[in-house]
């Protein structure tokens, strides 16, 4: 992997990741941009202990532009974008409308492909591996910044999820605090250790591997399964067999196998509602895909894993979070985990 670092016209950092060692990335950003001015504020909810980010400057961010004005496509004559080069493989740059910035963390955008109408599921294993390498590099770089407690790599896909740019992309957040879900998992892992002497995530993986009715796909180094108490209609967790705290600790064998398992999962998700017998005009499955990594402090029990889920529960129905879920955080799932796993296994049949 070759890493080329440059600056955008307003001073934000942009990084090209290329598979070829001789790739040249020196196109300048000629746009007349003013410096980014953001002032997010962190406020602690005293009732729950959760940190809330107030980022009112994001009200003016780009919202669903037409394809010919996409800021994530490569720059074309007369159509400059966030990526100055005429082509790219994987690009990471600082978000122009960040939720977190300065001493309050950092937000980055990860572009997986220059193809506006593509998607992660359509990448080759080699390109997916390059994205994994970029995620790993950003985890190492951002995790070493002063004040950063947790690095969170994720992808939102689909208007149903709330995506404001349809070009295939993800994000990386460097949080100055431990996120609520990670704090809950860390506390649960500590309680599990005290009660059983074992690691919670190792035991969850072992239980899943002993429950074939919940396994979706498996390889030599990774297993994908529907959790026993899944919150979402179709939710899959992907674990490496060897417990590691974050992406930087994966070995070469694990990195080599990951793209094949992950692309398989994404294609299964897409076939859930667009396969044989699907309704006319059915769209690709909206989803959230997120890496959970151990925070800098107090996260020694937490194991790296990826969680992938969709808010779609049927071809024409969404899982809308209503009073119980949104108001009380008490999830109610309409599809049993075993049924969801079976449908995902059958999706590519």
Average pLDDT, the chain: 95
Q: Inform me whether the pLDDT recorded for 305 exceeds 50.
A: yes
Q: Inform me whether the pLDDT recorded for 95 exceeds 90.
A: yes
Q: What's the confidence (pLDDT) of residue 281? A: 52
For residue 13, the cross-strand partners are 7
Spatial distance between the Cα atoms of 232 and 344, rounded to a whole number of angstroms:
14
- Spatial strand order of the sheet with 222-225 comes to 2-7, 13-18, 90-94, 106-111, 169-175, 150-157, 287-292, 305-310, 234-240, 222-225, 215-218
Domains of the chain: 2-31+64-178 (3.30.428.10), 181-346 (3.30.428.10)
Q: Is residue 266 exposed (0-12), middle (13-18) or buried (19+ Cβ within 10 Å)?
A: buried
Spatial distance between the Cα atoms of 125 and 167, rounded to a whole number of angstroms:
20
Q: Which of 167, 169, 221, 292 is catalytic?
A: 169
Assign 340 a pLDDT band (cuts: 50, 70, 90). very high
DSSP 8-state assignment for residue 214: G
Mean pLDDT of 207-235: 98
Mean pLDDT of 191-218: 98
Is 169 catalytic? The answer is: yes
DSSP 8-state assignment for residue 227: -
pLDDT digits (tens, 9 = 90+) for 146-198: 999 999 999 999 999 999 999 999 999 999 999 999 999 999 999 999 999 99
φ, ψ for residue 218, nearest 5 deg: -150, 150
With beta carbons less than 8 A apart as the criterion, state whether 341 and 225 touch: yes
Spatial distance between the Cα atoms of 136 and 252, rounded to a whole number of angstroms:
12
pLDDT digits (tens, 9 = 90+) for 42-67: 999 999 999 999 998 787 788 889 98
Q: What's the confidence (pLDDT) of residue 103? A: 84
Q: What's the confidence (pLDDT) of residue 280? A: 47
Is 51 in a helix, a strand, or coil? Answer: strand
Spatial distance between the Cα atoms of 159 and 267, rounded to a whole number of angstroms:
19
Q: Inform me whether the pLDDT recorded for 127 exceeds 50.
A: yes
DSSP of 70-91, one letter per residue?
-TTSBPBTTB--SB-SS--SEE
pLDDT digits (tens, 9 = 90+) for 241-261: 999 999 999 999 999 999 999
Could you tell me the sign of the dihedral formed by the alpha carbons of 91, 96, 100, 103, in that order? positive
pLDDT digits (tens, 9 = 90+) for 266-300: 999 999 998 655 544 557 899 999 999 999 999 99
Q: What's the confidence (pLDDT) of residue 282? A: 59
């Amino acid at each position: 992997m070759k890493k080329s670092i440059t600056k955008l016209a307003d001073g934000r950092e942009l990084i090209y990741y290329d598979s070829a060692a001789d790739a040249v990335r020196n196109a300048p950003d000629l746009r007349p941009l003013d410096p980014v001015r953001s002032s997010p504020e962190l406020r602690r909810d005293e009732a729950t202990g959760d940190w809330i980010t107030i980022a009112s400057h994001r009200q003016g961010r780009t919202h669903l532009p037409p394809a010919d004005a996409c800021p994530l496509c490569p720059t074309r004559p007369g159509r400059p974008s966030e990526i100055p080069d005429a082509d790219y493989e994987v690009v990471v740059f600082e978000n122009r409308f960040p939720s977190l910035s300065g001493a309050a963390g950092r937000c980055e955008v990860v572009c997986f492909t220059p193809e506006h109408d593509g998607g992660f599921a359509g990448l080759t294993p080699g390109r997916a591996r390059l994205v994994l390498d970029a995620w790993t590099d950003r985890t190492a770089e951002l995790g070493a910044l002063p004040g950063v407690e947790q690095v969170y790599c994720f992808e939102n896909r689909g208007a149903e999820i709330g995506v404001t740019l349809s070009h295939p992309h993800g994000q990386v957040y460097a949080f100055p605090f431990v996120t609520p879900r990670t704090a809950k998992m860390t506390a649960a892992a500590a309680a599990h250790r005290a009660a059983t002497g074992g690691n919670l995530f190792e035991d969850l993986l072992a239980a899943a591997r002993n429950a074939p009715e919940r396994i979706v796909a498996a390889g030599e180094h990774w297993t994908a399964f529907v959790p026993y108490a899944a919150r979402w209609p179709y939710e899959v967790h992907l674990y490496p067999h060897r417990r590691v705290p974050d992406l930087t600790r994966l070995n070469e064998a694990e990195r080599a196998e990951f793209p094949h398992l992950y692309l398989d999962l994404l294609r299964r998700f897409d076939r859930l509602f667009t396969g044989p017998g699907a309704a006319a005009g059915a769209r690709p499955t909206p989803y959230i895909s997120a890496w959970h990594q151990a925070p800098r402090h107090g996260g020694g029990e937490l194991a790296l894993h990826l969680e992938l889920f969709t808010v779609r529960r049927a071809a024409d129905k969404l899982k809308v979070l209503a009073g119980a879920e949104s108001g009380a955080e008490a999830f109610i799932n309409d599809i049993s985990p075993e049924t969801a796993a079976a449908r995902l296994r059958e999706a590519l049949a």
